[in-house]
Structure 1
Amino acid sequence: MKAVARRRPLCLRRAARGAALLLAMVILTLVATLSAAMVWQQARGIAVEDAQRSRAQAAWILAGALEFGRVILRLDARTPGVDHLGEPWATQLQESSLASLLAVDRRNTAEGGPEAYLLGSIRDAQARYNLRNLVDNQRRLLPAEVAVLTRLCATAGVPSGTAWAIAQGLQAAWAAQGGQGGQGGQGGQGGQGGQGVDMQDAPLAPRSVAQLAWLGIEPAAAAALQPYVDLLPEATPLNLNTASTEVLAGVFAGLDAGSAQRIVQARQAKPFRSIDEARTYITGDGELDARRASVGSRYFELSGRLRVEDRQIEERVLVVRQGRDVRPLWRERHSIAADAR
């Protein structure tokens, strides 16, 4: 009996030691799990902070580059009245190493950080047909302008009904917001296709050609039209010194592709200083007046792209130049992976 009594406490002590060991292992596992979670959260926070800092730095670099574009346009305003593709603003900055652009000594480019590449350009926004010309200040569609858009749609290879769909959609959108961004009249009387516009059902007014999808236009059709049309805050003439052959032939009725090509060749030899210099190339029903044509521009689009490793940030800014004042109107920025281009 005494031997049995001695073995029983021994078993109890062994069980207690086993339970203590098991409890210690559970506590150790819990501590390790919590520590790993804390380390992961800290690493994630550092990664997020680093990504935010990188985006902020990239945004500032792009803002500085685009500000330099505004300076170029400001300097170009010293010779007002004429804008053509032979001027400094029309020269595109090819993708270049940011370090090579900033460093005085090339040896300073050897840093531990990733290499960054910058690309930029300035585009004449009045080198394309302005969709704002479709509607007058009283929110009436202008048949002659719809005919221009119809010809450009045919050039772009989009369905023939796209022109009227765009025109009526823009008319309804501008009527709903007070008419052409506040330029229209106060009355509710619409013109062709403008009567009885339901303000609640009217689409949002797009700000760019890519946003024509808001009007029910197929994205593929909007993309096909992008090289030929633009959307500016007010009606503008077409710059004869920068417009493409296709746009010239589409805007001026009666101007065939051959005549448009002669205009392009003539301005390459010597940019037009006045509308009268180009008037001899326009035939047919096209009216070469100050409302439809010009040799200078006020609206420009500045674009820049910064690429760092597998990420890139792109930014576009629409600016208006009034004298030597170059004022931004809107800005778009987005970040995408390099392999998604």
Structure 2
Amino acid sequence: MKNEKIIISQNGVALITALLVVALATIAAVAMTTRQQLDIRRTANLIHGEQLYMYALGGESLAKHLLSHDKKILAKSIPPLSIPDGKIYFQLEDLQGHFNLNNLVKKGKASPKDIILFKRLLRTLELSPELANVVVDWIDSDMDRLPNGAEDNTYLIGSNKTSYRTSNTLFSSPSEVRLLAGFDNESYLKLLPYISTLPTRTPINVNTAPLEVLMALAEGLNETDATTIIADTDKKPFNTVSDFVRHPALAGLTPYDNLSVESDYFLLTIDLERIQLEQGRILERVRILSSVLHRHSNKFKVIKRSQGGEL
């Protein structure tokens, strides 16, 4: 009887041990399978991302081709590109229809005529014109504070907040405006559609300037007259700056003199729209690429590129 109990006890231990081994093997197999699935999914995402990036670069090449054949481009509509389970959309924007913040200084010093124009733009947008001097102080080469401006002593604040110095060089991105005294997120977003930060002084293209920028081009140019100019431009773009200056809406006014009817800087944004093939339902739309294109001697160069975010 005693031997039988020992045998039963040993059999029970062996059974429990076998069950533990099976359980551990199952856990290990599940872990390995899960890890393998994650690796497969991660690899697929990387391949998919690279594939989309190649599509985006193809869109860049297409935009360059279109721009090289139309120097007086107003708005090029690039048709969507169909891809498996979605579409890629291209949007081309003329950056010289905006006011270039880097025009506010010339050879490191404040440019009075550009400051006047920028103040008019700020008033049109119902922002304080005093913010113009804050922007100038950020990029001019000296440490002399303009009236209502802001130099280092404004930004070198207490240890409870982030301290920094003025840039004293040109803007590299419109997002830098968020760092400036007097600008909050609301005022930045209100200003953003009408500004650019191009690396050289650039004229404003009167054929592509939006209403608010047009109104800032001359003291006394009201919304009604600026709207008339845009309507006439839609019918027939200006061939020369002289044609613009002679427009009846500008009679008796003195327009800003750094104008153009052509552009050399463009912003290309490329978005992906994923579609559920079975139901035709749009799942998401995401930004793939943003590129700033510069034309020189009818050749294009990408001077800035960002994947997914703003430039």
2:299 is the alignment partner of 1:330: no
Q: 1:196 to 1:98 in 2, by over 3 A?
A: closer
Contact 2:203 2:259 in 1 (8 A): yes
2:188 is the alignment partner of 1:222: yes
Contact 2:86 2:272 in 1 (8 A): yes
Q: Deviations over 1:133-153 (max 9, x none)?
A: 11111x222333223222222
* Rounded Cα–Cα distance in structure 1 between residues aligned with 2:176 and 2:251: 34
Note the residue ranges of structure 1 that are not aligned, 5 or more in a row: 1-6, 78-82, 100-113, 176-187, 336-341
Structure 2 residue aligned with 1:275: 241
- For the aligned residues, what is the CA RMSD? 2.7
Q: 1:283 to 1:136 in 2, by over 3 A?
A: farther
Match of 1:135 among 105, 109, 130: 105
2:61 is the alignment partner of 1:67: yes
* Rounded Cα–Cα distance in structure 2 between residues aligned with 1:268 and 1:308: 33
* Rounded Cα–Cα distance in structure 1 between residues aligned with 2:306 and 2:291: 7
**TM-aligned CA deviation for residue 211 of structure 1:** 3.6
**TM-aligned CA deviation for residue 127 of structure 1:** 0.5
Contact 2:98 2:194 in 1 (8 A): yes
**TM-aligned CA deviation for residue 323 of structure 1:** 1.8
The TM-score normalised by the length of structure 1 is 0.75
Match of 1:91 among 41, 63, 76: 76
Contact 1:253 1:284 in 2 (8 A): no
2:176 is the alignment partner of 1:208: no
2:254 is the alignment partner of 1:286: yes
Q: 1:195 to 1:218 in 2, by over 3 A?
A: closer
Structure 2 residue aligned with 1:155: 124
Contact 1:121 1:302 in 2 (8 A): yes
Superposed, which structure 2 residues align to 1:112-131 within 5 Å? 114-131=84-101
Q: Deviations over 1:216-239 (max 9, x none)?
A: 532221211122221111111111
* Rounded Cα–Cα distance in structure 1 between residues aligned with 2:274 and 2:177: 31
Moved over 4 A (4+): 188-200, 203-206
2:5 is the alignment partner of 1:31: no
Structure 2 residue aligned with 1:243: 209
Q: 1:23 to 1:284 in 2, by over 3 A?
A: farther
Q: Deviations over 1:229-288 (max 9, x none)?
A: 211111111111111222111132232333323322332333212111121233566345
Structure 1 residue aligned with 2:279: none
Match of 1:166 among 108, 115, 135: 135
Structure 1 residue aligned with 2:223: 257
Q: Deviations over 1:86-137 (max 9, x none)?
A: xxxx13246x4605xxxxxxxxxxxxxx521121121111001111111111
Structure 2 residue aligned with 1:299: 265
Q: Equivalent residue of 1:232, what SS?
A: coil
Contact 2:207 2:237 in 1 (8 A): yes
Structure 1 residue aligned with 2:159: none
Aligned residues: 287
* Rounded Cα–Cα distance in structure 2 between residues aligned with 1:124 and 1:97: 21
Q: Deviations over 1:270-310 (max 9, x none)?
A: 32121111212335663453xx1111111111111122243
* Rounded Cα–Cα distance in structure 2 between residues aligned with 1:252 and 1:314: 38
Amino acid at match of 2:77: Q
**TM-aligned CA deviation for residue 12 of structure 1:** 1.1
Contact 2:170 2:199 in 1 (8 A): no
Q: 1:288 to 1:211 in 2, by over 3 A?
A: closer
**TM-aligned CA deviation for residue 69 of structure 1:** 0.3
2:22 is the alignment partner of 1:21: no
Work out the percentage of aligned pairs sharing the same amino acid. Answer: 22
Which is further off, 39-48 or 237-246? 237-246
Q: Equivalent residue of 1:264, what SS?
A: helix
Instruction: Name which one, 1 or 2, has greater alpha-carbon Rg.
Output: 1
Q: Deviations over 1:17-44 (max 9, x none)?
A: 1111111111111111111111110000
2:5 is the alignment partner of 1:11: yes
Amino acid at match of 1:201: R
